[in-house]
A and B are shown apart, each in its own frame.
Chain A
Amino acid sequence: MKLFLKVWKQDGPENEGRFESHVLDGVSEDSSFLEMLDQLNEQLLNEGKEPIAFDHDCREGICGTCSLNINGFAHGPENSTTTCQLHMRKFEDGDTITIEPFRAKAFPVVKDLVVNRSAFDKIIQAGGFITVRTGSAPDGNALPVPKKDADLAMDAAQCIGCGACVASCKNASAMLFTSAKAGHLNMLPQGQAEKDSRVLNMVAAMDEAGFGNCRNYGECSAACPKDISLDYIAKLNRDYAKAKVKKVFS
């Protein structure tokens, strides 16, 4: 395949960015999108030019490191797929492809296509855990968890923390991420003791990190490579309201 690539170049967080155009020939349909970028970088290197920086690691769709807005879509046009799992057979020979970093105020660009998503860590640190010291756990079967609840918790827990939800939202809201993380723990019996403080603290951390508000557009869930459902946002809103009310009356 021969491709025409428009790629975002930005030297550092404080620099202004620009698009650069490249032509890349001889791309295999079986290669992944990131392998196509590897090929471009080898070409640039051989021409004595600086390669394009992009984040990636496991390349099997689970670590959540890869990102990229591809032709305007977070992780590209294929549903339920991370960029590393997107394969070039989904494109046509001669296509022009525009590649940008995830764009959000809370995700500043580090360089080129690399962004800083540490705001997500702040949200988890605020309450995305169950307080349990190592060694203090009861037997694993002491607390039965109905299969349905365990499955719903797992649906939420599948979130890979990539940030596609934020990058796809007009408001750059992190509600889908936060609701998946809080929802996973709030649905399990183990998570009940800290349920209220968890939602209050995580939402506060989310707001503080500079993410926008949720207006229920639903782009987040459509872009999510793990298909996290909007239901979790509804659950977060419900849990948040309850926790707020309880706080007022306590």
Chain B
Amino acid sequence: MGWSLALSHLVDLLALRTFKSIHLMNLDSKIPEGPLPDKWENHRFSSKLVNPANKRKFNIIVVGSGLAGGSAAATLGELGYNVDCFCYQDTPRRAHSIAAQGGINGAKNYQNDGDSVHRLFYDTIKGGDFRSREANVHRLAQNSVNIIDQCVAQGVPFAREYGGLLANRSFGGAQVSRTFYARGQTGQQLLLGAYSALSRQIASGQVKMHVRQEMLDLIVIDGHAKGIITRNLATGELKVWTADAVLLCTGGYGNVYYLSTNAIGCNVTATFRAYRRGAGFANPCFTQIHPTCIPVSGDHQSKLTLMSESLRNDGRVWVPKNAEDCGKAPSEIPEDARDYYLERKYPSFGNLAPRDISSRSAKEACDEGRGVGPGGRGVYLDFGDSINRLGENTIRERYGNLFEMYERITGENAYQRPMRIYPAIHYTMGGLWVDYNLMSSIPGCFVLGEANFSDHGANRLGASALMQGLSDGYFVIPYTIGNYLTTISPGGIDPEGEAARETLESVKQRVSQMVSAKGKRSSRSYHKELGQIMWEYAGMARNEPGLKKAIGQIQDLRDDFNKNLLVTGHGEELNMELERSGRVRDFLDFGELLCRDALDRNESCGGHFREEFQTEDGEATRNDDDFAHAAVWEFKGDGETPARHEEDLKFEEVKLAVRSYK
């Protein structure tokens, strides 16, 4: 009797273990105890420290050298860890963080206008439409203050007042002025700051930099991330790199739409390959469409260019009231025939309404036939009033480089006639799921910056991406990585061991499949077609039949890609067609996942707008009862439907409210 009971217990236990390993993803967020403002402080105190003498025994791989990767690699190097940093560009200084224009938020309250850590926290939670973790966002707001100090000390030439103190500007989604900026090139200057700190570590030998190297897979040994496979883009060499922890700082997946404001090389491969190896992918449908981009001009277009949102400080957005006026020159349309629709619909935020709301309003105006410019897909951003009020010189000083950029691309002078703008894919809030320590569901694999899902919920506020990248890299990971490293013993990973060899072999196979398909279509043509499907059905507005249609079309496109791809040359050389093919291949799988996530999220929130869920006047309707959670996807194998898990979001500090900017 006793024996059989024990036996049945054992069977139960075994069954449960198997069940757990197959069906349950560990989504413990590890949010620290205590009141919200104390959580980070408590966590820093209770986090495990790695003895200074032991730090040099740990090897850490950092993939990506943007704000998140660059700051993490530099800081971990300063702490004494051995760091290998990888980037696909020819130097770490070119990562796409460099293109951020407008600024970085910091709750300094230098303007004495009522800002505080709590207000930045609240604005970010609300801006994210209550789909992010309170504890993470609060930590971000706390760190924002230190980031500004750090960057100033590095020599980032922020804009200054005449008295020599730091200047601020306003940004969308906030009623205080807390954005620090360096003309229209804030991302560039912050990245160069991180790059300079990184360069100092490279010179000291603490960080080894590997440029023109693309990560093509993650090596997982006994459930822990232990290395990566890279392809040397200059020579084609595939190589195994082992480490005690891997940090993915590889940015977002906006290029799944083909046309976006991302750099051409931005891709989902690193995070998607980690997903395939067991990391949960959270909220892939949370994509951000930036309201102020230069409209598409034709089929040749390879990317869209953003005009900083800061322009909305001094520019007024309008379209003609009557569709018949759309063909006229803007100067011929009198004041009373113009519809300043953001000011009309959202009087308290006006032209500074958040990105998702501004974007959707532009789409609505164009859908009504009131769009301007080629194809009727554009709205005016008019500086006439500001130029009259402040003078052309002031506007030139504030935005000169943006006006020049606009003229180069469109051939039009925006001092004399309003800019034409239209929304474009810009940022992705979704990403690999991470806990409070920034660790993914694969132990030892950390995810920082845009690549993770944690801080922006369903919509990111302007000037918050730079803040998050640097917070993760300078001020979070240096503390939290110890919690993992103290649980393992350093080194002892065989680069020729079974797992590493198998992973390398699978990458080799993937590369050779693409080279040997010898079909008829270029990877670019597939990418373009995928982008059209995504923009049409999973863009600014989504609905159930459309998303289902998109999933089918993507599957067909992928089948065709596998059979009919054309790559010239071979794998053992610099081969840009091959590089793009690999990225497009992963986008084809990933696009389907994004649509699936959008289909299962039966609500509208932030950047995810489902047409079935809106109020009578077209505002998004959230469903907090069923969807106040992060949806986390688990890979189940090629051709299998991925499993959807949920991490419930608990709101203890803020009340879930309808996000109103009226």
A contact residues vs B (CB 8 Å cutoff): 12, 27-28, 30-32, 34-36, 38-39, 42, 45-46, 48-51, 53, 55-65, 78, 80-81, 85-87, 89, 110-111, 114, 116-118, 120-121, 124-126, 128-141, 143-147, 150-151, 153-154, 157-158, 160-161, 184-185, 188, 190-191
Contacts and interface: CB of A to CB of B under 8 A. Distances in A.
B264 A57 contact: yes
Contact of B300 (A35, A56, A110, A111): A35
Contacts, number: 223
27 contacts: A30-B297, A32-B409, A35-B302, A42-B522, A45-B568, A57-B94, A57-B96, A57-B265, A58-B264, A60-B261, A60-B303, A62-B185, A63-B99, A64-B93, A121-B91, A121-B199, A121-B202, A124-B93, A126-B203, A140-B149, A140-B152, A140-B158, A141-B110, A150-B158, A157-B157, A190-B152, A190-B154
A177 to B, nearest CB: 12
Interface in B76-100: 78, 89-96, 98-99
B611 interface: no
A65 B303 contact: no
Question: Interface centre among A86, A126, A133, by most B CB within 10 Å?
Answer: A133
Contact of B404 (A55, A80, A121): A80
B200 A145 contact: no
B405 A61 contact: yes
Contact of A158 (B94, B160, B185, B306): B185
A28 B99 contact: no
A132 B265 contact: no
Contacts of A64: 93-94
Given A28-B297, A114-B574, 10 more contacts: A45-B566, A57-B263, A58-B264, A59-B303, A60-B305, A63-B96, A125-B202, A135-B475, A157-B192, A160-B188
Contact of B263 (A59, A125, A151, A161): A59
Nearest to A126: B203
Contacts of B573: 12, 111
A178 B435 CA distance: 42
B196 interface: yes
A150 to B, nearest CB: 4
A81 B158 CA distance: 24
Contacts of B146: 135, 137
Interface stretch (B161-169, B171-179, B491-499): B161-169
A45 B91 CA distance: 28
Contacts of B524: 38, 42
A87 B150 contact: no
A153 B157 contact: yes
A144 B199 contact: no
Nearest to A124: B199
Contacts of A30: 297-298, 300
Question: Interface centre among B161, B200, B202, by most A CB within 10 Å?
Answer: B200
A78 to B, nearest CB: 8
Interface string B126-159: 0000000000000000000010111111110111
Contact of A50 (B92, B166, B404, B568): B568
B189 interface: yes
Given A34-B302, A56-B264, A135-B146, A63 B164 contact: no
B334 interface: no
B196 A129 contact: yes
Contacts of A131: 200
A31 B298 contact: yes
B474 interface: yes
B301 interface: yes
A241 to B, nearest CB: 23
Contact of B203 (A28, A80, A125, A153): A125
User: Closest 3 interchain pairs by CB?
Assistant: A144-B164, A137-B153, A129-B196
A89 B154 CA distance: 41
A140 B188 contact: no
B152 A137 contact: yes
A147 B577 contact: no
B604 interface: no
A227 to B, nearest CB: 10
B299 to A, nearest CB: 8
A145 B163 CA distance: 8
A117 B90 contact: yes
Contacts of B203: 125-126
Nearest to B101: A62
Contacts of B305: 59-60
B452 to A, nearest CB: 20
A161 B91 contact: yes
Nearest to B202: A125
Interface string B204-219: 0000010100000000
B351 interface: no
B197 A65 contact: no
Question: Interface centre among A27, A65, A87, by most B CB within 10 Å?
Answer: A65
Nearest to A150: B160
Contact of A49 (B74, B106, B187, B568): B568
A87 B94 contact: no
B90 A137 contact: no
A137 B150 contact: yes
Contacts of B189: 154, 157
A246 to B, nearest CB: 22
A55 to B, nearest CB: 7
Contacts of B151: 140
Contacts of A81: 408
A242 B525 CA distance: 58
Given A116-B90, A118-B211, A134-B75, A154 B157 contact: yes
A51 B566 CA distance: 12
Contacts of B197: 129, 132, 134
Question: Interface centre among A35, A121, A130, by most B CB within 10 Å?
Answer: A121
A89 B411 CA distance: 9
Contacts of B409: 32, 85, 87
B150 A132 contact: yes
Nearest to A139: B149
A48 B94 CA distance: 32
Contact of A65 (B89, B150, B155, B474): B89
Contact of B157 (A27, A39, A46, A184): A184
Nearest to B569: A50
Interface in B446-490: 474-475, 478
Given A63-B263, A121-B199, A45 B90 contact: no
Nearest to B93: A161
Interface in B599-626: none
A132 B196 CA distance: 10
A137 B149 contact: yes
B300 A39 contact: yes
Nearest to A38: B302
A140 B94 contact: no
Contact of B98 (A12, A58, A80): A58
A110 B160 contact: no
A125 B199 contact: yes
Contacts of B234: 110-111
Contact of B183 (A31, A154, A185): A154
A86 B95 CA distance: 21
A158 B525 CA distance: 35
B163 A144 contact: yes
Contacts of B75: 134
